[in-house]
């Protein structure tokens, strides 16, 4: 009986050791509960991982620190009357440039960092040039949705969303959501693909297909409602 018991213990030990080796060698982003590796390719779990970073400030900044992006951590905006910014971050250098600086929670920076790599691939596929700059209307604004006097606060009141108006590419050309969305052109196809790809990383993605208020931009939000239109 004793030899059989020892054999079982040794077999279990071997399986455990093999499992640890496999865990270390397995691509990190395929382990949903593990560390998020922003410089490695995103997987099917990307949106879930971004959501996890949004709920864990320490893990989010650790993920930024392990990546190649450069950021500045800012003092939080204290919350008052439904407005404020937690885990407040300013992106300083990434894969591409932005039309102006902006502040956001850490998790939005992480989502954008992954999104940029996919946008670049889509730009090369549809337009034959790499992505150089993202044109945007900003993130933080202490206001209600659509600027209405009586309504709930916008995600911009906590800087959890960015409004993207267009893109510039390495060959000097540009794409505008307002100008090119409805065109049956390579630029229009790129914009449709860019909208769809955003849904891998952001909980809410709104485009001109959603309503007239979004005719000139994509609204990319950390929200967890799973709305992509």
pLDDT tens readout for residues 113-169: 999 999 999 999 999 999 999 999 999 999 999 888 888 999 999 999 999 999 999
Q: How far apart are CA 190 and CA 193, in angstroms?
A: 5
Confidence at residue 4, expressed as pLDDT on a 0 to 100 scale = 59
In which band, very low, low, confident or very high, does the pLDDT at 37 lie, cut at 50, 70 and 90?
very high
Section 20-30 average pLDDT: 63
Q: For strand 97-98 and strand 131-138, is the pairing parallel, antiparallel, or unpaired? A: parallel
Confidence at residue 33, expressed as pLDDT on a 0 to 100 scale = 87
In which band, very low, low, confident or very high, does the pLDDT at 65 lie, cut at 50, 70 and 90?
very high
Confidence at residue 1, expressed as pLDDT on a 0 to 100 scale = 57
- C-alpha distance from residue 94 to each of 14, 32, 102, 113 (Å): 43, 24, 13, 7
pLDDT tens readout for residues 181-210: 998 899 999 999 999 999 999 999 999 999
Mean pLDDT of the chain: 91
Section 26-37 average pLDDT: 87
Sign of the Cα torsion 214, 217, 221, 225 reads positive
- C-alpha distance from residue 180 to each of 10, 12, 68 (Å): 65, 60, 32
Q: How far apart are CA 209 and CA 211, in angstroms?
A: 6
The model scores a pTM over 0.85: yes
- C-alpha distance from residue 211 to each of 56, 86, 190, 219 (Å): 33, 29, 20, 11
% residues pLDDT > 90 (the chain): 81
Nearest in space to 132 (alpha carbons), one of 81, 167, 90, 102: 167
Above 70 in pLDDT, residue 220? yes
105, 159 Cβ separation under 8 angstroms = yes
pLDDT tens readout for residues 77-97: 999 999 999 999 999 999 999
Section 101-107 average pLDDT: 98
Q: Give the three-state DSSP class for 185.
A: coil
């Amino acid at each position: 009986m004793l030899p059989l018991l020892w054999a079982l213990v040794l077999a279990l030990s071997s399986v455990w050791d093999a499992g640890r080796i496999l865990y270390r060698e397995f691509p990190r982003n395929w382990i949903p509960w593990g560390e998020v590796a922003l410089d490695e390719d995103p997987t099917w779990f990307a949106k879930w991982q971004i959501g996890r970073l949004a709920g864990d400030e320490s893990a989010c900044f650790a993920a930024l620190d392990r990546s190649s992006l450069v950021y500045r951590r800012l003092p939080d905006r204290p919350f008052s009357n439904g407005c404020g910014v937690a885990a407040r971050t300013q992106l300083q250098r990434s894969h591409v440039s932005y039309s102006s600086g902006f502040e956001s929670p850490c998790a939005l920076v992480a989502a954008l960092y992954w999104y940029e790599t996919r946008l670049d691939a889509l730009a090369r596929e549809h337009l034959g040039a790499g992505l150089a700059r993202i044109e945007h209307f900003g993130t933080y604004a202490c206001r209600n949705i659509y600027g209405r006097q009586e309504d709930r606060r916008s995600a911009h009141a906590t800087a959890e969303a960015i409004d993207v108006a267009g893109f510039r590419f390495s060959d000097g050309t540009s794409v505008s959501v307002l100008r090119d969305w409805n065109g049956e052109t390579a630029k229009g196809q790129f914009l449709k693909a860019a909208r769809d790809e955003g849904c891998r990383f952001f909980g809410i993605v709104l485009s001109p297909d959603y309503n007239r208020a979004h005719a000139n931009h994509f609204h990319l939000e950390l929200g967890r409602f799973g709305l992509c239109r």
